[in-house]
Amino acid sequence: MLEINDYQGQVRNFAKYPMEIGPFYCTFGIGEEFGKLNQKIKELLDDPTHQIDKQDSMKIAISLGDILFYITNMATDFGITMEEICLLNLQKQNMALEKKIKEENQKVTKLDENK
């Protein structure tokens, strides 16, 4: 099993861009690769009779990997580990879920009070 920070260390060996412009280069790379991913998804949606198969999934996985390459290198450029990013995102998602649950509970309480 490959750990995310191990991947981060290994993928840096393939970053062949001037490091002084790394974050900018990575931003453009993410945009370009995301555009390619959008095109692949659009092609799947354009054919409503098409059943997504293993080959389609592999194409999507390759595109996601290309995006991950640039995200990972940008994180390295900023001195951030991928593990930190994952943990921060999980915390953010948990806080958003807790907020949504709290808001839903407040709506239910108001409805109960109006009865």
pLDDT in tens, 18-76: 888 989 999 999 999 999 999 999 998 898 888 889 999 999 999 999 999 999 999 99
Fold of 1-80: Helix Hairpins (1.10.287)
Band of the pLDDT at 101, cuts 50, 70, 90? very high
Under DSSP, is residue 64 helix (H, G, I), strand (E, B) or coil? Answer: helix
The C-alpha atoms of residue 40 and residue 106 are separated, in whole angstroms, by 42
- Report domain extents, the chain: 1-80, 82-115
The C-alpha atoms of residue 75 and residue 88 are separated, in whole angstroms, by 13
- Residue whose tokens read 């998602």: 93
- Region 71-85: what's the mean pLDDT? 96
